[in-house]
Amino acid sequence: MSDQQFITYMAAFQKAAEHTGACAPCQDDRLCPTGDPLHAEFLTQQGRWEANKRRTERNAARRAAWRAASRHRMARHAASDLITYGPWNGDRPAATTADVIRRTSALYGGHLDAPITPAEAAKALEAALTT
Q: What angle do CA 21, 6, 14 make, to 5 degrees?
A: 10
3-state secondary structure of 88: strand
What pLDDT, on a 0 to 100 scale, did the predictor assign at position 52? 92
Confirm whether pTM is higher than 0.75.
no
What pLDDT, on a 0 to 100 scale, did the predictor assign at position 88? 93
Q: What are the average pLDDT values for consecutive 10-residue runs of the chain, which has 131 residues?
A: 86 94 87 90 94 95 97 97 94 94 95 94 95 78
What pLDDT, on a 0 to 100 scale, did the predictor assign at position 1? 53
93, containing H or E segment: strand 92-93
What pLDDT, on a 0 to 100 scale, did the predictor assign at position 129? 92
Q: What angle do CA 94, 67, 57 make, to 5 degrees?
A: 150
Instruction: Tell me the HSE value of 20 on the side-chain side, using a 13 A CA sphere.
Output: 17
Amino acid, res. 20:
T
What pLDDT, on a 0 to 100 scale, did the predictor assign at position 122? 97
What pLDDT, on a 0 to 100 scale, did the predictor assign at position 93? 94
